[in-house]
Amino acid sequence: MRARGANITDIVVLVVAADDKVQPQTIEAIQHARAAEVPIIVAVNKIDRPESDPMRIQQELLAHELIPEDLGGSNIFVKVSAKTGEGLDELLEMIHLQAEILELKSTPKGFARGTIIESRVRKGQGPVGTVLVQRGTIKIGDFFVMGSIHGRIRAMFNESGVPLVEAGPSIPVEISGLSNVPEVGELFVVLDDEKNARLIAEEHEYKLRAEAIREQQKTSLDNLFNKIEEGEATELRLILKGDVQGSVEALKTSIEQIGDERISPRFLLCAVGNVTETDITLASASDAIIVGFNVQMDAKAREIRANEGVDVRLYDVIYNALDDIKAAMEGLLEPEIREEIVGHLEIREVFSSGKNGMVVGGLVTDGKMYRNCMIRVLRNEKNIFEGSIISLKRFKDDVQEVLQNYECGMVLEFSEIENGDIVEAYEQIEESAKLS
């Protein structure tokens, strides 16, 4: 739920109690906001209590890379009291300021769009869904589509159950008139008529069925190697779970030493305990791999794992985990090209231009020459031409290669070649990149 919320949020207001320690759910919320790349404003609450210690909270959050502006960071910290109202005006001001900096704007005009943030079946109304309106204005009677579901808005209520006639941007409303229960996170779009809504919903349903037939294209250690070719991966996203904090820290420290300037791990969550449903949801939302050490998967996590397509790797030997992660990172790297010199030929005779290029003759002084080999022409040790051998002959016979100490003739696409020039033949060998 936190993962989905972060993905549709423009600004996260992280509320932390000043009279307590930073809780695990707070750390989880930070991880979700980071995964969604959403700016965080920290509201330090309960400052009215005698035992409150806002500075201690600030110090604890520094460990999670939430750095206040007065310490050179980019996170806004506001001290508030929900009980007395102290600091709430400043918090609202900071939210407005952040929105202005981010240029968060939306228009109430045009066909509405939004996101489903909750859904259920309500007695007497059938399927209902809560929509966060993000653009335009929705009204009773509008035709809509959300994924493979379509309908017409019959009724609309705010969070207090008060009936509404219309709702604009940033307003969450519960609507009825759905053909089925929608998935949370589905895009909601208003259309001009029922026919278009039905056609789009049917097309989406067809695509879902076709996709179910194909192998699900989610991130795993196996198919992640292909993502670099599509420009999608420069990091390996990981969620680490361990039996004790020491195991998690040791695994994280060891993994951090694997990467370099070409590829690096990115940890979305590092925590103690079994792999949970929340972990699966976060991994699915951010294309991450879950690595567990001396832990298991909860029953609910195991149940939804297949549907979400998340890759979960469980280990009881830390070196096996490190070997697999290193192999995954190496697979994400561009292959390295190594050049190998094949041989050299000294030009001893320049004949005439043929129909395909310049005809020359020479002696192979070391290595060999072969047809279609890549070459460069050197004069006084300077490279003056690069190309390939178009044809290769011994006397009048076409040959595939000529070895050291043999003379031969060849055709090159270089008209300025002279006696005494050196033809250097080379190969480019593609090798898998390695991490040290």
Residue 294, number of CB atoms within 10 A of its CB: 14
pLDDT band at 207 (very low <50, low <70, confident <90, very high): low
Q: Pick the residue with more confidence: 357 or 67?
A: 67
Q: What is the CB-side half-sphere exposure of residue 177 using CA atoms within 13 A?
A: 20
Strand partners, 290: 239, 312
pTM, rounded to two decimals: 0.45
Closest-CA residue to 195 (of 154, 145, 153, 155): 145
Q: Pick the residue with more confidence: 242 or 197?
A: 242
pLDDT at residue 72 tops 60: yes
> What integer pLDDT is reported at residue 168 of this predicted model?
92
Tens digits of per-residue pLDDT, 326-363?
888 887 787 888 899 999 999 999 987 666 688 999 99
Q: What is the average pLDDT value for the chain, to the nearest integer?
A: 86
Domains of the chain: 2-102 (3.40.50.300), 113-213 (2.40.30.10), 223-332 (3.40.50.10050), 337-431 (2.40.30.10)
Cα 50 versus chain centre, distance: 45
Q: What angle do CA 162, 168, 169 make, to 5 degrees?
A: 120
Closest-CA residue to 76 (of 57, 89, 95, 62): 95
Q: Residues 254, 318: contact at Cβ < 8 Å?
A: yes
Q: Residues 283, 239: contact at Cβ < 8 Å?
A: yes
Tens digits of per-residue pLDDT, 29-52?
888 888 888 899 999 999 999 999
pLDDT band at 127 (very low <50, low <70, confident <90, very high): confident
pLDDT at residue 210 tops 70: no
Residue 400, number of CB atoms within 10 A of its CB: 9
